[in-house]
Homo-oligomer: A and B are copies of this chain.
Amino acid sequence: MMNTLPDNILTPAILLPEWLKEIEQAYLGKQMPGDETKMLFAIELARENVKHQTGGPFGAAIFNIRTDELVAVGVNSVVPANQSWAHAEMTAFSHAQARLGTYDLKGCLLATSCEPCAMCFGATPWSGVEKLIYGAEGDAARKVGFDEGDKVADWQNALEKRGICVVGPLLKEKANEPFELYRSMSGIVY
């Protein structure tokens, strides 16, 4: 069974949920100094994504390292978009690259509410970001049924060797809240 797909499209656009559009418009270009402030923002996106039932309990954001300005947001959109690659980190990379008009996010930082899975780990060096901060550990995601995939054991070190600074886990308890909310709302684990 094949759906109709416009014949000029390789990969479809993923729409920004209405609530996220409002948050982005309010915070875009705003300065958020410090890793904890940035992390709280990413965790907030994860929680709002669960609350609005627009995807899994994961949020991410891209910031300019030098100015601390918000460049782009991202949320897990796998189920509503029917796109298995649409994890929060991936949509944040894609959104930032579309906004900046480049495939290279040099000078940028990724804040993600949870440790990256195997795919998002692999995607991080290709994105060009120079720093990655994460909240919850992979175990917290596994506990609510999300598979983190097969990563090299020393994944933080592998990124550091590529010149990407890694900070985390950060605000771990706070970062677990979206998972707890997700479980209490009994979300679909894909």
Contact = CB atoms under 8 A, between A and B. Distances in A.
Interface string A82-97: 1111100011011101
Interface in A44-90: 71, 73-75, 77-79, 81-86, 90
Given A14-B11, A84-B127, A99 B3 contact: yes
Given A120-B122, A150-B158, A98 B9 contact: yes
Nearest to A89: B85
Say how many copies of this protein the assembly contains. Answer: 2
B101 A82 contact: yes
A26 interface: no
Interface stretch (A15-23, A165-173, A177-185): A15-23
B12 A8 contact: no
Interface string A8-44: 1111111111001100010001000000000000000
Given A10-B20, A85-B126, A104-B190, A98 B149 contact: no
Given A5-B98, A11-B13, A150-B152, 11 more contacts: A2-B99, A9-B95, A10-B13, A10-B77, A83-B98, A84-B103, A85-B85, A85-B93, A85-B127, A121-B122, A152-B152
Interface of A: 1-3, 5, 7-17, 20-21, 25, 29, 71, 73-75, 77-79, 81-86, 90-91, 93-95, 97-105, 117-123, 125-128, 147, 149-152, 155, 158, 190
